[in-house]
Structures are given as structure tokens and as C-alpha cells.
Amino acid sequence: MEIMEAIKTRRSIGIVKQDPVPKEIIEQIIEAGTYAPNHHRTEPWRFFVLTGEGRNKLGHVFEEITRIENADDTPESLISKLERQKKNPLRAPVIIAVGIEPSDKNNVLVAEEYAAVNSAIQNMLLAAHSLGLGAVWRTGKITYHEKVRDFFRLSSKGEVLAFIYLGFPDMEPKPAKKTPIDQLTTWIG
């Protein structure tokens, strides 16, 4: 697949089959992430692959966070939220959690470390698409909770920036609606 085709046809695929994804394909996707631009070559990205029971372990973390964050809810409302959060990681056979560990070096800007990891995530999404997989980049408030950081044993400066849910597509994505570039671009000569 040519790069421009991959960029223009990649979509978030939130519904995937539960069929296993070969380890070699997952490794290719992670490797693509490591080719992202990275000022000072600090390689601030960290990758965590969750399959099988690993997804349930993450679900228990989500459930615990939800219990803490919604302690004032009615019991019925809380039970519903707990069940939903506990099951969320089971939506795909593979989740790649992408974390950041920013460098301590004085010449390194933290914003550039985040930019590098976000670029790695985009590379991974494009790689997944080119390899015939469906993927969606999920975040939300729960992603940045200290219990998630602790689950992945990231430092106090580190955090998770993405949960990439991966699998073989089980849906047809809608065509993208994009604003024409002339409405978003200013040429300065």
C-alpha cells in the first residue's frame, strides 16, 4: 500500500473479530512506532502488549478506578459503569498500550517527547492498516489515572498515551469527511 493511500484510507475501526493476531504482525506494528521522529533520539516510547488474560487484568484496573471515581453514584448506576469498564479491554484480541517515559536531559523538551510518542502511535495505526488490521486509538480520563501508570510500572513522570485496540476488521468504516486544505492553510511568502 502506498503511503498516501494508507494515510487517506486509514480509519478508526472499533469493531474487530476476536481472532488471534499473529505475534509477528504485532511486532511489525511496534517496530513501525520506533521509526517515528524523535529529537535527541531519546526513544521515550514504551509498548505493552495485552492479550488473553492480560486484557482482564487491565479491566480490573479500569473497574477499580471507576469505583473510586464514582463512589457517590447510586448502586445501580455504579454497577453498570463497573461492568462496562471491566469489559472494555475485551473489545479486541490485542491491545497495545503506548506509554511515555520523558528524558531527564536538560536539552530535551517534554513537549517534544510527547510529540515523538504521538508520532509513534500514528505510525503504528498506519502500519496496522497497511497490514490489513483494524485499529482504534482509545484514551479518555481513565487512561491518565495513576493506577494505569502503576499497572504498567511507569515512573511518576511517565504515563500511558494510547490504548491501541487491534484485530481483524468486522465493520466497514465510513468515508472520511475532511475540510478542504485551502480553508486550513495560510501561505506566507
77 is in an annotated binding site: no
> Are the beta carbons of 99 and 153 closer than 8 angstroms?
no
CA dist., res. 21 & res. 28, Å (int) = 12
pLDDT per residue over 24-47, tens digit each?
999 999 999 999 999 999 999 999
Question: What is the rounded average pLDDT for all residues in the chain?
Answer: 96
130 is in an annotated binding site: no
34 is in an annotated binding site: no
Residue 168, pLDDT above cutoff 90? yes
Residue 73, pLDDT above cutoff 90? no
Q: How many CB atoms lie within 10 A of CB 27?
A: 12
Superfamily (CATH H level) for 3-51+91-171:
NADH Oxidase (3.40.109.10)
Average pLDDT over residues 91-113: 96
Residue 140, pLDDT above cutoff 90? yes
149 is in an annotated binding site: no
67 is in an annotated binding site: no
137 is in an annotated binding site: yes
Residue 110 grid coordinates: 517534554
100: three-class secondary structure by DSSP:
strand
Give domain limits for the chain: 3-51+91-171
Beta bridge partners of residue 94, listed in sequence order: 166
In this predicted structure, what is the pLDDT of residue 76? 85
Task: State the pTM of this model.
Answer: 0.94
Average pLDDT over residues 112-137: 98
Q: Which residues of 72-85 are buried (b: 16+ CB within 10 A; e: fewer)?
A: eeeeeeeeebbeeb
138 is in an annotated binding site: yes
